Amino acid sequence: MKFFIDTAHTEDIRKAYELGVICGVTTNPSLIAKEGLVFEEVIQEITTIVDGPISAEVISLEAPKMVEEAEKLAAIHKNIVIKLPMTEEGLKATKILTSRGIKTNVTLIFSATQALLAARAGATYVSPFIGRLDDIGFDGMGLIQDIVEIFEIHGIQTEIIAASVRHPIHVLEAAKAGAHIATVPYSVILQMIKHPLTASGIERFLADWATLQNK
């Protein structure tokens, strides 16, 4: 399973990329708004940090407008992936963009049949939201398992991005389920790095080494 970072905070993107663990970025309108910056400018800056797929989401709700927005975003950089909502219009736009060679990420996926339709419309990626399903008492990870199984049975090439990841256990379970990618906030990457036994292990090694120097 590969990692994308799920943020529009360019400093966090830079720090995560330097760690060598992420190979792409996902953003959404809420994440961009949180940074209070100009959408196209943030996306442009991200392309200078990460050499990999960068998802930028359209705001329009009708397919022709989505396509128009998507073409402008795709012109920013070859790595831009267009994020589209899982709606009838989003599917139409996915089909058109795919036929024009523009990569797509169908987002706000909450059922396996939505994922299957998005894949059939030509989506490069689908983004099932684990955390938001868990939040309302549904089985977010069960959704990932179902999509993985269905895509495997039918030889579907669309990649599954486990999204709305809240903690390292989501990452662990998504990896075991066979998601191709997990898109994670920087805070989750930091949680995954840390382990109390690693910290105490380093402390003990250094303390033992220091006793040697005093001999």
Binding site for ligand E4P (CB under 6 A): 6, 26, 28, 107, 127, 129, 131-132, 163-164, 183
Query: In the complex, what is the shortest distance from the CB of residue 44 to ligand E4P, in angstroms, rounded to a whole number?
Result: 19
Name the catalytic one among 83, 92, 194, 215.
83
Beta bridge partners of 163: 129
Single-letter amino acid, residue 53: P
- Distant-in-sequence, close-in-space partners of 36: CB < 8 Å, separation ≥ 6: none
Least distance between ligand E4P and beta carbon 100 (Å) = 22
Nearer to ligand E4P, 112 or 195 (CB): 112
Q: Judged by CB, which is closer to ligand E4P: 131, or 178?
A: 131
Smallest gap from residue 36 Cβ to ligand E4P (A): 17
Minimum separation from the CB atom of position 7 to ligand E4P (A): 8
Closest CA to 115 of 90, 97, 137, 139: 90
Choose between 94 and 214: whose C-beta lies nearer to ligand E4P. Answer: 94
**Cβ proximity to ligand E4P, 26 vs 114, nearer residue:** 26
Residue 91 near residue 67 (C-beta atoms within 8 A): no
**34 labelled catalytic:** no
Catalytic positions are 83
